[in-house]
Amino acid sequence: MPNTKKSMTNNPVHYPEVNPNPHFPTLEEKIIEKWKEEDTFKKSVKGDKDFIFYDGPPFANGLPHYGHLLTGFIKDIFARYQTTRGKKVERRFGWDCHGLPAEMGAEKELGISGRIAIEEYGIDKFNDYCRKSVLKYTKEWEAYVTRQARWVDFENDYKTMDINFMESVLWAFKALYDKGLLYESQRVLPYSWACETPVSDFETRMDNSYREKSSKAITVTLKLKSVPRKLSGKSCKLVIWTTTPWTLPSNLAAAVGEDIDYSCVEKAGEHYIIASTLLHKYEKELGNNVVLEIKGKELVGLQYEPLFKYFANHENAFRVLAGSFVTTEDGTGIVHIAPGFGEDDQILCEQNNIKVVCPVDNGGKFTHPVEDFLGLQVFDANDQVIKALKEQGNWIKTEQYLHNYPHCWRTDTPLIYKAVPSWYLKVTAIRDKMVKNNRQINWIPGHIKDGLFGKWIENARDWSISRNRFWGCPIPVWQSDDPKYPNIEVYGSIKELEEAFGVEVKDLHRPFIDTLTRPNPKDPTGKSLMRRVSDVLDCWFESGSMPFAQVHYPFENKQWFEDNFPADFIVEYLAQTRGWFYTLTVLSTALFDRPAFLNCICHGVILGDGGQKLSKRLKNYVDPNEVFDTLGSDAMRWYMVSSTVMRGQEVVIDKDARGMKESLRAAIKPLWNAYNFFTLYANADNLRATFDLSSQNLMDKYILSKCFKSIGLIQKAMDEYDTPSATKVVENLLEVVNNWYIRRSRERFWKSEHDQDKIDAYNTLFSVLNLICRAVSSLLPLITEEIYLGLNNNTGSVHLETFPDQAIYQADEDLISDMERVRDACTAALHIRSESGVRVRQPLAEVTFIGVAANVISEELSHLILDEINVKAWNSVDKSKINEYATYRLQIKFPVVGKRIPEKVKDIISANKKGDWKLENGKVIIGGEELREEEFELKLEPKAEFAGRITALSSNDALVLLDLNITEKLRLEGIARDIVRLIQQARKSANLEITERIKVSLVSDDENITQAIKMWDQYIKEQTLCVEISSDKFSEEQVYEEEAELEGIKVSLKLARYFS
């Protein structure tokens, strides 16, 4: 305790009176309000060079969740960090406005569904409703983002529905068209009948859109009109199998594998052809009387009778074709081909001049000529199709088939595959360039480059970019409405549109854009018109256009964009390797032949209790607002960015917010405790500290060296976008500051003299706190701001400071190493005390260090160790004597060894069992091989005669031996120390000022208490600011009393203020 005469309450206060246990959310809200009042964010946007990061726009027709908050924290952290490194970081917020999320929401709220209903309601009114509804929750979003202490520019935001943004998207479309990278085609695509629109192939790979689905798998026969020569004159049928019975009315062919073996089995005079390896699955239905074995190529070209009448006269149809995709993994080895509903089917039929038929409408319902199932939704038609096939005599069996099946990521309904006309971006033509550009990207985690993303783009397909919807950026293509006079026009700017159609263009949305028509210049009759194709662009095309469209490139900011592309940084969750990261890469490669970004964090997914998906229904996670209100956003931020979610793994946020509470304990409270200690005693001493790194005190030099080394490690981690490593360094540093530096330096703060040593202690701690706040400001923006302001007279902002410059202090690496050795030694000694049940306050006579080099532990360090472990004397034994006290146990990491020298593993195992190995200069030689450092561990195990008194350092190269014999004198000193602790606890309980002097009454029947007080009277008084200690009752009004026990001895304690 500081031995000052004056009460702190009478001193001028240089620093805030800090609450040791504050309500952090209240402090945070105060800081956020201060930032707003002082416009701190805007002041921070300055620098010599731009640092560009792309803020992926969310939809504002729903509220943010933990995934949004995590991404927001990461964006904010690196924007703040790069700002401290002297970069100018614009942070323009964006809103995703177009696409299915907006349309589906509008349909639900308006009580309408489907294209016909929307057209009847009015496209103009529907789109107006979408325009308003997409920004429904912008204020809520702004509140969440602000409360999480994320700095973004909401005033200068961009929206994908803004005319400038959309014009840039039109420019991109035309630029791609002019490059020959766009084409129109009817192809089979994943199709959402619930949304009445195709779905991009990559969308089916996002967000785990595959679900387990039970389908009715049906096996039926096709009656051959021509048969293999060896079966001439026989009635013969092909056996086919499908999990989509509804596609059978559109069957136009059957496919076999040319090199697959097929068997012809005879049953009741009928012959059935099936793949030989799959016959066993049908023995009950077909028997096993094999009359012929035949290769698939001998079946190719055979004709069969149509399964249904609807397309009976279709040209070139109802033949057996050779398909390279046919396997014998399941089914019958003969594949039913419906080119309107299967990608492989369509390609195969095109190769064989069979045109596509697709008798299913936009809503997934049967159309003409499938009269028997007209108007039925295809999945609802399955049972009726099966019934019809039974009645026709084609049916063999039906079974339930459980498989992973793609679902619409918006409606969670099963998709179908359907031939639809669409505009395509020819991704296959730029695939090699995308692979090349990917080599320039630094992916975090690193395996994404050649794994999840690399493999995806290596196999990328052409991208269907058109959607048969309403609320979106229009496809800027006009076509002649008379096929006799074909013509296509593509427009890439508002100016081009205005010049072509002679009207002012103020909106690019439907229905206005659809009203723009003009005579077809290639029609000599002058009758046909140029009309816009009705589709809009896939909203992912807009997302991929965001880098240039947000700045209205190339119509504005042309030079700025070209100078600042690609972006320095981008972040989203892993699935965006199939989404936004992918579309950005496609468009940046196609338009500029460059990557869209240079550094990319792919974070993992946040789960609720039990590792389940976050669910409002299950209530398996704590509400974010509850965390903000009880623990604070810094706690949430620290938990998230210090976790494995930053390595692309999953992390759990449970109902009790245990992880975020741990963040308070591991980082926020330790930082606050150090700040509280400093302000408490600096105010008591009426001392204003300065930023000063010149102290020559050993502990000061150590903590400054440790601090600057940690700053270097933090900088390295942050430069590598590695927040888990950065947070680990910070937690380690705060542990050292509190539990080593401050605790070992208390006497320097407590002493009464205002000498240079005391001033050095204050200046050093002030400097360290200042440096930590500046280095950690991006990771803990609110708490570091509160502390920074407290240290600096409530002026400025830590976020207007630069990252600490390591060059201003030369860290003493040897001192750091020596002190770590000291701390390790102390930890080992305290471990012995703990295991032996000897409390730390009980002094011991001697400690022996075995194997610690004498030149490592200086006299000053040895005194520090003795004081820390409460031992009177030090003894040192040379490393060569270790074998007298302990033996080495070798632990070999065989999986690691096996990768390097698999042929030697047996010999090494045998030698290890025999103990036949040796240690030479720190190297392990066993079985004739020298093991590498990462292939083994050596552990020192004490000999039995020293059990309970000796333990190894964590480095396993030295030992600590404690003399646990306690003399009477040592025992009494231990009791005196217990008395000090009891009085200090009582002072806290009585809420006494740290400078207040007291009188103490300590009554006990035990003679040991009396003797301890008599022997250590002066020590007890100095440590507790006690003027008088006695066993008598005093007349002054007591401020505290309690009945307590000291090592089993009952005592009665009373405190009273002392007035001189």
Q: Which residues are designated catalytic?
A: 57, 96, 540, 576, 580, 613, 616
- Cα dihedral sign, 489-493-494-500: negative
554-559 own/partner pairs: CB under 8 Å, 24+ apart: 554/168, 554/171, 555/164, 555/167, 555/168, 555/171, 555/493, 556/164
CA-CA distance, 440 to 600, in Å (whole number)?
Answer: 11
In degrees, to the nearest 5, what angle opens at C-alpha 687 toward C-alphas 684 and 693?
A: 130
Structure tokens at 542: 């807009």
Helix ranges (H only) for 618-722 are 624-630, 633-641, 658-663, 669-684, 698-719
Q: Name the phi and psi angles at 1023, rounded to 5.
A: -75, -20
CA-to-CA dists, residue 999 to 175, 324, 565, 983, 1029, angstroms: 88, 97, 73, 10, 6
Residues 298 and 844: their CA atoms lie apart, in Å, by 95
390 is in an annotated binding site: no
**Burial of 764 per CB tally in 10 Å (0-12, 13-18, 19+):** buried
Confirm if 426 and 183 have CB atoms less than 8 A apart: yes
Which residues make Cβ contacts (< 8 Å) with residue 188, sequence separation at least 6?
A: 339, 340, 341, 342, 343, 345, 346, 417, 418, 419, 420
Distance in angstroms (rounded) separating the CA atoms of residues 443 and 707: 30
Q: Is 351 helix (H, G, I), strand (E, B) or coil?
A: helix
Q: Which helix (H) or strand (E) holds 216?
A: strand 210-223
Residue 70 near residue 645 (C-beta atoms within 8 A): yes
Are 425 and 462 contacting, i.e. CB atoms less than 8 angstroms apart?
yes
Angle subtended at Cα 50 by Cα 46 and Cα 56, rounded to the nearest 5 degrees:
105
Region of residue 61 (left: phi > 0; alpha: psi -120 to 50; beta: else): alpha
Q: How many CA atoms lie within 13 A of 993 on its CB side?
A: 19
- Burial code of 654-671, b = ≥16 C-beta within 10 A, e = fewer? beebebbeebbebbbbbb
E strand map for 356-462? 395-406, 416-425, 442-444
Distance in angstroms (rounded) separating the CA atoms of residues 473 and 169? 8
**DSSP-derived secondary structure for 219-266:** EEEEEBSS--GGGTTS-EEEEEEES-GGGGGG--EEEE-TT-EEEEEE
* Residue 651 main-chain phi, psi, to 5 deg: -140, 145
Structure-block tokens of residue 15: 């620093």
Task: Specify the residue for token string 């927040």.
Answer: 723
Q: How far apart are CA 874 and CA 43, in angstroms?
A: 57
CA distances to 55, 547, 712 from 569, rounded to whole Å, are 9, 12, 21
CA distances (Å), origin 415, targets 192, 377, 412: 5, 12, 9
Rounded distance, CA 112 to CA 123, Å?
Answer: 12
Strands (E), 314-448: 319-322, 334-337, 395-406, 416-425, 442-444
Task: Give Cα separations from 421 to 105, 118, 191, 850 (angstroms).
Answer: 26, 21, 12, 82
Task: Specify burial of residue 793 (Cβ count, 10 A radius: 0-12, 13-18, 19+).
Answer: exposed
Closest by alpha carbon to 171, among 568, 508, 560? 508
Residues of the binding site for ATP: 616
What residue numbers does the annotated binding site cover? 616
